[in-house]
Chains A and B, each alone.
Chain A
Amino acid sequence: MLLKLHDKLTIASADELKATLVAALDGGGDILLDATAVEQIDLTGLQLLFAAHKTAVRNGKTFAFAEGAASEVIDLAALRAGFARDADDSNTSLWLRRSHEHA
């Protein structure tokens, strides 16, 4: 299913985002995110997306940004928060550091 994310993924609306993600995961299918509307994300938003991704992967489901529907806001926040990773085998992070943009 395609899940459209709201403009603010911050602590004030974290309960709401969790409910949305739980409902989506309980649906049992693969989830593609449309993050084009996201204007703001904080640690709670990152944690929720991370947890949803982890849970989905564990269930053998896809949890990813839809083609062309990723969000620079989210990528930047993930980078700032240290969530981005140079990928390796054991890693299932939703965020990958793009080669050498850190510095």
Chain B
Amino acid sequence: MQRFVIVKKGVYLDSIRLMKATEEAKKIPKVKNAFLSLGTEANKKLMSELGFLTEEARKAGPDDLIIAIEMDEKGEGAAVIREVEALIFSSKTKGTQEYASVEDAILSLRPNLAVISLPGDQAVDVAEDMIMKGINVHLFSDHVSLKDEVRLKKLANEKNLLLLGPGAGTTIIGGKGICFANEVEKGDIGLVASAGTGLQEIISILDSLSLGVSHAFGVGGSDLSKEVGGIMTKKCIEALNSDPSTKILCIIAKQHSREVVSEIASYCSKVRKKTFACFLGVEDNLGLENSETLHACAVKIAKEKGESKQFFSFKEILSNAESLSSKLQKERIFIRGVYSGGTLAHESFLILSKLGIRAYSNTSYEKRYLLQNPLKSIGNSIIDMGDEFFTQGRAHPMIDSTLKILRMKNEIKDRRVAVLMFDVILGYGVSDDPAGEIADTIEQVNGPVLLCRLVGTKKDRQGLERQKKKLEDSGIAVCRSNAEMAVLACLIATRCRVERKVEKLWVRLFGL
């Protein structure tokens, strides 16, 4: 193994461009690892963890570009460095239609949707400007205050526009995905979600049942809070109710106020179309076929559509758990989850709780189960790496998985861990090889069982089957839904002691 670290003084490039070039550099033959960054203190700390922090790199400043490459012994360093430099300086998208001014861009296209992913404090003004100009908004940015969210949503509502977000990860309009989105078959199911990866998860499960989507709206995680009152959830339900291509409605929520959920349920009773829901954490039906997991919700929709395919039986999941836990050492008893998707993390947290396994989380709504230090797991822990704590000053883990992979490696090192659950999300907006990034770097010998929920559709550009094979070839068990992964993790960690609870809750967990 040989390492090359080169510092280019006074060469400044933005972090997204460098991250993309890093991913491309890793694909060069004989390159084992790459890290292209500016010499900020934070980046130097990461370089230190990756073994790249040479004396020269240590002296680099925030205006200096650092090129760090790890290669096979046989690779020729100079040629590879030239190739990497070419990647860095030519990474601008071919044929980009780029404008320095919003006004010029609007004149050139007359857009009907603005997608905003600026840092929160700047995003608010830009979003307001778009609404005032009569343009619908998909606001990906987080770090927007509830007060601003309420103000923007009221303004959009007055103007009969959509303000999706803040923190809206996914929207699909007529099959076209905004931000993180899967390639879907056209269908007649319309979805509204205050849960980005929840939307991707249910769309992927529906896809595996050969069911397509008309439109899917991500309204942001706080839309069903008491303060916001579901303004945009209602607006999107109204939109889908009047859309002729939508026959079935589905509403998904992660974080919500019970009062607002009841109000939405009552609002849905006026809808002319069959409506399903998955309000995570709500166990009653609310008069609209509410499910406790996304898996159960998808299966109920499939039944409504006359599709009764069963993913797996209780016996099959039990047999898998017995087989996967057979070689685990006795002291390995804890479950750890490292997620990019907040909804999936929350769903797992709830499933563990239903099965009598208490877990800590960095996003728990119950203070006593909130991890005091999100950087360090204790006991059973579920970590949402997309939480604002981790994304402040850093791209979301679905764009840059560096921190997520480091966290996974740390969890694997813990000798008390029986199972490590994680998600890999395919589709638009994420890297070309999300499974490969993990499969190529995670090593576990005599370690915990590794379970992955691969969220993706058959038409996703990365190739669902190819991605699955990469994970399986690395000894990772790939699950058919997040609910299956969480249940399997509980069975493995307890050596099937929760078998009866799983059997008793089977219909609530899996809908069949």
Say if A and B assemble together: no
The residues of B with any CB-CB pair to A shorter than 8 Å are none
The residues of A with any CB-CB pair to B shorter than 8 Å are none
